[in-house]
Amino acid sequence: MSPLWANKTHLWLRAALSTSEVEGLRAVGGVEGAAGRRLTVDNATSAAIKPVTQAITPHFRDFKPVRMVSFSKTNDANWQVPWHQDRVILVRDRMNVSGFTNWSNKVGQWHCQPPSDVLEDMLFVRVFLDSCDAQSGGMEFAVGSHANGIVPASEAATNADRFPTSIETAEAGDILVLPMLTLHRSVPAKAPNGRHVLRLDFARSALPEPMLWSDFK
């Protein structure tokens, strides 16, 4: 387990963003009805996510955003995802580097699974653009499950059962920071009135040459 999380399992940053900062993120996120829309960086996106980085920096220094995905649950997009870990990263180009596997190109962006030590030194950050709870389909996570490292997909549910779980309860402007390898799932909303969340992955270490993180700033 990475020493980064030796004494904690997750961190809530309540009311971390102002109303205007939330609206700025909503504008670049394009989140309406999206069940997992991967976002590319531009000047507007870089400016909008800067307050998120500033909120995280006092707790996790030297981390920078390297991937961004928007999620929305509505009456028309009330989706679910079983227990799993997110083990892919977004990089600038495909490179033949040992330990980096499962390459895929999604909407023109190269993704791959890196070695476990890369994932263990990353943050999985949830930025809430609306209020969120169990009724609106808040994400459930297995508290401390990152301690088991990489878990085969077929064993994710069994492993999650070994840990206490928590369902997100948040207001717009809250931020949840988790270890990258935390097991989590999403169940359909019981009252899908609109639940919009941005996911940002943060990293602090350079990738082995010649690989580079994506062009987030």
User: Is residue 209 in some structural domain?
Assistant: no
Q: Which domain, by its residues, includes 24?
A: 3-203
Residue-level pLDDT, tens digit, the chain, 217 residues: 566 887 789 999 999 999 999 999 998 876 555 556 666 667 788 899 999 999 999 999 999 999 998 888 777 777 789 999 999 999 999 999 999 999 999 888 899 999 999 999 999 999 999 999 988 889 999 999 999 999 999 999 999 999 999 999 999 999 999 999 999 999 888 876 778 899 999 999 999 999 999 876 5
Q: Is residue 217 part of a domain?
A: no
- 21 lies in some domain: yes
Instruction: For the sheet with 195-203, list strands across it.
Output: 11-13, 175-179, 122-128, 195-203, 64-73, 37-38
Q: Is residue 73 part of a domain?
A: yes
CA distance 148 to 181: 8
Q: What is the CATH number of the domain that holds 57?
A: 2.60.120.620
22 within a domain of the structure (yes/no) = yes
- Tally of domains in the chain: 1
Whether 57 maps to a domain, the answer reads yes
pLDDT at 54 (0 to 100): 97
pTM: 0.93
The per-residue pLDDT for 136 is 86
Question: Residue 11: inside a domain, yes or no?
Answer: yes
